[in-house]
Structure 1
């Protein structure tokens, strides 16, 4: 297992951002296509702009958290929004609930689509299998999954590098040809930049999960250092992946493909071993994401409902935990039946709109006020 405690703090926090953004949904390639590659030649710029949005706003949030000793999102919001806290603190709770509903559902859909591609089993049956596994692990194995999450993410990333680098090399001629074709008749910049902005915005829905890590900083300056590291690492991987997908960018069916990376592999090199390898890693990443998000929802609900004397110390789940985990799993399973592409494009899109109002705009107003000397740090 990777021990983030042995890393420099700034590198460790950058790694947290890294693993938060790049899960099973990213590994499938669906997010890259829907928010970047679908807009043609602009995909060579917009993924980096999206990382810049994340880096700037997360830096500001982490710095504020350190300065004001606000290491959970409720405390942070109450201090950050000031007299507007009664409104915006509760609005962020809604954002967080939407995230808790959507992220596991996308994980279900990613795992289900990948299992269907790998085995040929119908999609609903695949999501049902994924759901049963997620429910069991959520009840009995969350500690292991949490400990394994960082290691698993690194394995997924290593798998992506193994897939993309040789395929980029072999498909370089197609990539260059597609770039020239897309550049000769570029799509309008406006929709491409707006899609990039929405992607950067919905990624900020999980900003509240980062604040706890600011407690380990020696000074608030480490917030900037961590986001610089994170920007370069995230930008490097997202551009490598985007470049790989550009090999199939002119495929007329690409926008309807829930697993572009599998399509890339099947037309590239090493499909015989790469396809099962990346499929298994995507499924594991999706399961890990879903378990962590559902376990978080269960924890929030059960702590509120259970009296201290009802809680067990033997590691076995209580009846309330079982019921809540089952309901959350059924909810995620039900939402997943809409399919991966609608969840990625429409679901995350609406989450992005809400996050603009609750996070991005208030942060921007405070940044400008601080720069003008009207608001203290």
Structure 2
């Protein structure tokens, strides 16, 4: 019975990794195309290497959190960075704010771009509609969204499988043609490696989200097992998306698409059925990600004060005026950032955050691994 519970935790945290990784940029195909497919045939290998890179760091951080019993990211950072915490813990706060601004903006942009493609309405109007919906759900339905998040994610994954697998099977010759075209272009391996490195480095910022889940492990070693399972799940789904997008790689219009998955479906099999299906799934995925991010940012801004609790109780409404104002402010900022466009945010903003991650997470973690011999001895 105890082992069954431990296995459930191992699988559950692995799935948390995937659902965190799987946002609007992933669902739309824009992330996968921008960081992998456009760099040639190496795209079949690079997602696996990027996820292996993430696996090492995520397993290390979760194992450390379970050993030290530090389950909120500030306490975790203070323990991890040791005497350097006054510098690096605060730098991490800056990084965290950047992520919390960009990630919801990508969700706004994904939902807006998908709705625009589907309805023909202007992108600006579509992002306004998506933003209003996110604001309302963040205020009135955050608890509900949190409860159904896993179910929603399973539905999205199932929908992606339904969409991608038939297109891959029926257009396998197009994938072969894409590989030949990529090889003829002689795209350098170093560019593909560097892009995969940036992608994986950006993902390291999710450590702040993951450490709270280390509490569910029976023992620190479960963290390694969990991230091993997560590696398999993430790698398989990423390669599946890569293969699907390769079916339209030789189409001259493919490179300029802000929602490559939607373009692939429109050019593939069962377009009349799959186009609205994938559109709804992408929008739901983007909205659920944005709601969680906005709600988390509101909590950081407002905190859990007695005055806020009393105000909510007195009014009979669980959300205070301050929280409504904070949510509106967050949505307004994210709406503004979303106007840069989905591809710009994914290709530029994500890469910018990756450069911030290098001195705040990547380098300190590598030093920590070396000094503590992968946390097998006490740091000096």
Task: Give the TM interval when normalised to the shorter protein.
Answer: over 0.9
Aligned-residue CA RMSD in angstroms?
1.8
In the TM superposition, what is the alpha-carbon distance from 1:81 to its structure 2 partner? Answer: 0.3
Partner of residue 363, structure 2: 361
Q: Could you tell me how far 1:374 is from its partner in structure 2? A: 9.3
Q: Is the 1:96–1:206 Cα contact (8 Å) retained in structure 2? A: no
Give the 3-state SS of the residue equivalent to 1:70 in structure 2. Answer: coil
Task: Please give the residue correspondences for 1:47-62 in structure 2 after superposition, counting only pairs within 5 Å.
Answer: 47-62=47-62
Q: Could you tell me which residue of structure 2 aligns to residue 330 of structure 1?
A: 332
Alignment of 1:182-197 (within 5 A): 182-197=182-197
Q: 1:311/1:355 Cα in 2 relative to 1: closer, same or farther (>3 Å)?
A: farther
TM-score, with length taken from structure 2: 0.95
- Match of residue 43 from structure 2: 43
Change (3 A) 1:283 1:7: farther
Counting only pairs closer than 5 Å after superposition, residues 112-127 of structure 1 correspond to structure 2 as 112-127=112-127
Partner of 1:101: 101
TM-score by length of 1: 0.95
Instruction: Report the alpha carbon displacement of residue 216 of structure 1 after superposing the two structures with TM.
Output: 1.2
Q: Secondary structure at the match of 2:318?
A: coil
1:141 maps to what in 2? 141
- Could you tell me how far apart the structure 2 residues matched to 1:84 and 1:271 are? 55
Equivalent residue in structure 2 for 1:376, among 349, 362, 378: 378
Asked whether 1:92 is paired with 2:92, we answer yes
**Cα deviations across residues 295-336 of structure 1 (Å, max 9, x unaligned)?**
000011111777456442344321111111111010011110
Does the CA contact (< 8 Å) of 1:366 and 1:375 recur in 2? no
The question of whether the paired residues in 2 share the 8 Å contact of 1:23 and 1:153 is answered with no
Match runs of 1:108-257 below 5 Å: 108-257=108-257
Q: Is the 8 A contact 1:69 1:215 kept in 2?
A: yes
CA distance in structure 2 between the aligned counterparts of 1:86 and 1:246, rounded to whole angstroms? 47
Superposition deviation, residue 373 in structure 1: 8.8
How far residue 250 of structure 1 moved from its aligned partner, in angstroms, is 2.5
Unaligned residue ranges in structure 2 (runs of 5+): none
Q: Given the alignment of the two structures, is residue 339 of structure 1 paired with residue 341 of structure 2, yes or no?
A: yes
Return the alpha-carbon distance in structure 1 between the equivalents of residues 357 and 250 of structure 2. 32
Mapped contact 2:249–2:255 kept (Cα < 8 A):
no
